[in-house]
Structures are given as C-alpha cells and as structure tokens.
Amino acid sequence: MMTLAVGEALPDIALTTPEGATVRPADFVGRKLVLFFYPKDDTPGCTTENKDFSALAEAFAAADTALLGISKDPPQKHRKFIDKHALAAPLATDAEEGGLSDALGIWKEKAMYGRTYMGMERTTLLIGADGRIARIWPKVKVKGHAEDVLEAARQLG
C-alpha cells in the first residue's frame, strides 16, 4: 500500500466500467482527472456527491478534466444507479481485493455503532495531466465539494 502524497504517480490498476470494459488511470494521462472514491451507490451522501459531480460534468470537461467515480459496487449496480439518477459522471468498480482503493489506502477499517468493518473512505484525488497526484481531499464532506474540486482543476491549468 502506498501513502497518498501530492506528486506521487498512481498505480496503474484496472477498474471495470458499468459496460464491463476496463479503464486504468494511465488511460487519462495527458489530461487532468478527478477520481472520487465513495462508499456505496444509492446511499444519501453518495447519491448527493454523484449528482453534484454530474451537474458539473460539462464544466469539468471545459477545464479539460475527466471525472471518474469509484466504489466497490458491482458494474450492474453502477448501471442502475446511473440510470436511476441520470448521472453524467462516469463510474467504475474497484476490485474486491487488491484494487486501486486498497493500493492507495482508501479502503480501510471503519467503525459504526460499535462494530468495525472494511469500507471506502470518501476521498477525492485531482490528478494532473502528468498522471501524478496534484491534490488530495481525504474524509470528504459532500456539501460544496464538487465545486471546490472544479475550482482546483481550473487552477491547475
């Protein structure tokens, strides 16, 4: 597991799209990329976050920045989530074990109501056109977050 740090290159670990295709961080080198990791499709905070990024999808595109939302939900569940909420931000499924979130230390032990479990820590990464981490937002609070990320993407140039 790597430590998330600005300036680090992302590991080139495959993710799966809702259509079953493979997508990798290296596919986006040459343009900026926002990876927003979220815990679970169709839960209140995750739905709001996905809708917020989707509402700004055209603005991100105008800033030459690709979007990719990532959770461990299966591709079929992502497809239903996209269709149900008319999401414009693309989604991808991370591997159950050994995935990108594991490699980045975003899949971690969490606690709720006295029990511990493994889960996704809501985290966003802004990746520069060089494929290196330009900005990290750990433990994201959803309100206003997509706008903050868009502003950072614009400033990255």
Q: Which listed residue (10, 33, 35, 46) is catalytic?
A: 46
What is the per-residue DSSP string for 18-50? TTS-EE-GGGGTTSEEEEEE-S-TTSHHHHHHH
Judge contact between 143 and 127, C-beta under 8 A.
Answer: no
Rg (CA), the chain: 14
Judge contact between 59 and 91, C-beta under 8 A.
Answer: no
Euclidean distance between CA atoms 41 and 71, whole angstroms: 8
- 59 is an active site residue: no
Euclidean distance between CA atoms 18 and 91, whole angstroms: 7
Beta strand residue intervals within the chain, DSSP E: 15-16, 22-23, 32-37, 65-71, 91-93, 107-112, 115-120, 123-127, 133-137
Which residues belong to the active site? Answer: 46
